[in-house]
Amino acid sequence: MSTMEISTIKNSWKESLLKKFSTWATKHGVIEDPYVLSLIKDISEDRNISFWANEDPAKLLPLVDTKEGQRIVDFGKFLTIIRNMLVFLPVAVTWKAVSDATSGFAEFVSTNNATPVNFLEFWQNGYGYLDKFWTIGSIAEFDFWIIILVIVISLLSNIMQNNGQKLHDAAFDLLEKEKISLAIEIKKYLYNAKPVESTSITQDVIVSIEKLNQGIREYNKISQNIETLSDDLIRVVPQLQNLQESMNKIGISNNNDLEKVLSSFTNQMYSSVTELNSFVNQLNESITSVKNLLDSSLTSSVANMTKDIEDSNNIIKKSARQLEKELRNLSKEINSSLEKLKSQDEN
């Protein structure tokens, strides 16, 4: 992927994040929050990215709340207030009835001294001195219904507050999930957008570089062996030239044998060198990829590059060892042919 393509992807990601962030903040009325304003501005201008990347957006994003179920909760609280007032109503009404009954009984006694009537009997009957509502039986029934009403209101108040709180909690959980999702998007963007510093190189990067260096060292070692074998083969060339002069004396059959050996050697050498060059090119491509990775986004892709480096190292070592083996076999075969030809020449 080219640098221009990477830049285009990053810009698209930034625009998408800023749009999502601004929409969320405006929707919940927190666009004026200092954290929101500062972060949106710095992301837009690509400033202070390293600073923001070290902060936890889940903790710094402003708390958003919902009014879902709040009316039901408020009405339940209002019923609670009514219930608390009604609790004292029977006591007030009863004492009011006692007051009126006492006044009426005093007037009744003053007017009818000779009439033997006790207070409870008077409170129950009234005898024209007490309104029927304030009689003891009427007040007892009134208090009963007030208590029943208090019980009903208490039940309704609890049910409404519980249901309203459940609706509020459910809506609040959705808001929290939305907030966490946004925080994750911000964290991912900041993590990938911040510049790579020497202190941010992870252990995986160090391991990958070490594997690359190890592969290069092994490749150099095998290359030295191949170079040594090549030198040995080069030293054989003068002997081949001397044998060429002797071949005319020995006969065409031996000449054909040597030509076959040389032809086989040439073909195998060409094939092996071609294969080695191919894998060397692969190594160069891997090294170039690692360099580009270091220049662009090392920390995000090093895990994938590690496998590529290992595969390239294994291929190079296998190819080089195969070439080394073939060179040794060819060297032995040529030396054997030389010895054979020398023997025939002497005979």
Query: Could you tell me if 220 and 155 lie in one domain?
Result: no
Q: What is the per-residue pLDDT across 172-226, written as a single tens digit (0 to 9) for each?
A: 999 999 999 999 999 999 988 776 555 545 555 566 666 666 666 665 666 666 5
Report d(CA 82, CA 217) in Å as an integer: 88
Which single residue is written with the structure tokens 């946004």?
182
Q: Determine the pLDDT at residue 39.
A: 93
End-to-end Cα, the chain, rounded Å: 69
- Confidence category of residue 73, pLDDT binned at 50, 70, 90: very high
Q: Determine the pLDDT at residue 46.
A: 87
189, burial (CB in 10 Å: exposed 0-12, middle 13-18, buried 19+)? buried
- Confidence category of residue 297, pLDDT binned at 50, 70, 90: very low
Report d(CA 323, CA 315) in Å as an integer: 12
Query: Could you tell me if 14 and 43 lie in one domain?
Result: yes
Q: Determine the pLDDT at residue 126.
A: 87
Query: Could you tell me if 206 and 294 lie in one domain?
Result: yes
Q: Tokens in use for 34?
A: 């200092």
Query: Could you tell me if 98 and 219 lie in one domain?
Result: no
Q: Determine the pLDDT at residue 299.
A: 46
Query: Could you tell me if 314 and 328 lie in one domain?
Result: yes
Q: Among 195, 228, 254, which residue terminates a domain?
A: 195
Q: What integer best gives the mean pLDDT of the chain?
A: 77
Q: Determine the pLDDT at residue 8.
A: 75
* 47: pLDDT strictly greater than 80: yes
Report d(CA 106, CA 111) in Å as an integer: 9
Single-letter residue type at 189: Y
Query: Could you tell me if 227 and 119 lie in one domain?
Result: no
The CA-atom distances, in angstroms, between 296 and each of 2, 116, 203, 282, 292 are 10, 112, 18, 21, 6
Query: Could you tell me if 149 and 227 lie in one domain?
Result: no
Query: Could you tell me if 190 and 205 lie in one domain?
Result: no
Percent of the chain with pLDDT over 90: 40
Q: What is the mean pLDDT of residues 105-117?
A: 80
- Cβ-Cβ contacts under 8 Å for 297 (sequence gap 6 or more): 6, 192, 196
Q: Determine the pLDDT at residue 328.
A: 73
Query: Could you tell me if 112 and 227 lie in one domain?
Result: no
> According to the 3-state scheme, what is the secondary structure of the chain?
CCHHHHHHHHHHHHHHHHHHHHHHHHHCCCCCCHHHHHHHHHHHHCCCHHHHHCCCHHHHCCCCCCCCCHHHHHHHHHHHHHHHHHHHHHHHHHHHHHHHHHHHHHHHHHHCCCCCCCHHHHHHHCCCCCCHHHCHHHHHHHHHHHHHHHHHHHHHHHHHHHHHHHHHHHHHHHHHHHHHHHHHHHHHHHHHHCCCCHHHCCHHHHHHHHHHHHHHHHHHHHHHHHHHHHHHHHHHHHHHHHHHHHHHHHCHHHHHHHHHHHHHHHHHHHHHHHHHHHHHHHHHHHHHHHHHHHHCCHHHHHHHHHHHHHHHHHHHHHHHHHHHHHHHHHHHHHHHHHHHHHHHHHC
Q: What residue numbers bound the domain in which 33 lies?
A: 1-195
Q: Among 136, 161, 195, which residue terminates a domain?
A: 195
Q: Among 160, 195, 230, which residue terminates a domain?
A: 195
Query: Could you tell me if 153 and 203 lie in one domain?
Result: no
The CA-atom distances, in angstroms, between 308 and each of 275, 313, 320 are 19, 9, 18
For the chain, what is the domain count?
Answer: 2
Query: Could you tell me if 224 and 245 lie in one domain?
Result: yes
Report d(CA 137, CA 129) in Å as an integer: 16
Query: Could you tell me if 221 and 76 lie in one domain?
Result: no
